[in-house]
Structure 1
């Protein structure tokens, strides 16, 4: 059950944000073969005066915090990072140089899934 929190600066259009949500969801499906019904994405917008990148205030950026059930290979994780970076660039025209993706592996015993059971109990 991939769960993504994507932080971007305020000021993007509704269409851009919709594209970002759809493209990032599809990036997860395509890169790590997660089933679409299991993908969750939350978009968070940050005021530009609350962002500094490489010493530059209000520089466009994106930060993705991706939580995954443990067990994916380094190659799958690298594919996810690349796919998310491309999806963000394509959706809201931020340079891929200013996109960061942080992956956290969650033990199967520590991830709750449908019907309030652990991923381990669900056989994931």
Structure 2
């Protein structure tokens, strides 16, 4: 059973996350030749205060 873990920054619309899950499932099913029913996709939304780039939280980065 393929399990795909995806971590993204918080703030995207639920519709985008739903589309991501669907497309990732389709791709994994096609590439690994497994039924979609066997695939699990876990999307974790990380708060911008908990995601650092170059030692700085994204929440403290202008324009993010």
RMSD: 1.2
Cα distance in 1 for residues equivalent to 2:6 and 2:27: 14
CA shift at 1:65, angstroms?
A: 1.5
Is 1:80 the counterpart of 2:59? The answer is no
Q: What TM-score does the superposition give when structure 2 sets the normalisation length?
A: 0.85
Q: How many residues align?
A: 63
Q: What TM-score does the superposition give when structure 1 sets the normalisation length?
A: 0.47
Gaps of 5+ in 1: 1-60
Q: How does 1:16-95 map to 2 (within 5 A)?
A: 61-95=1-35
Cα distance in 2 for residues equivalent to 1:117 and 1:62: 34
Gaps of 5+ in 2: none
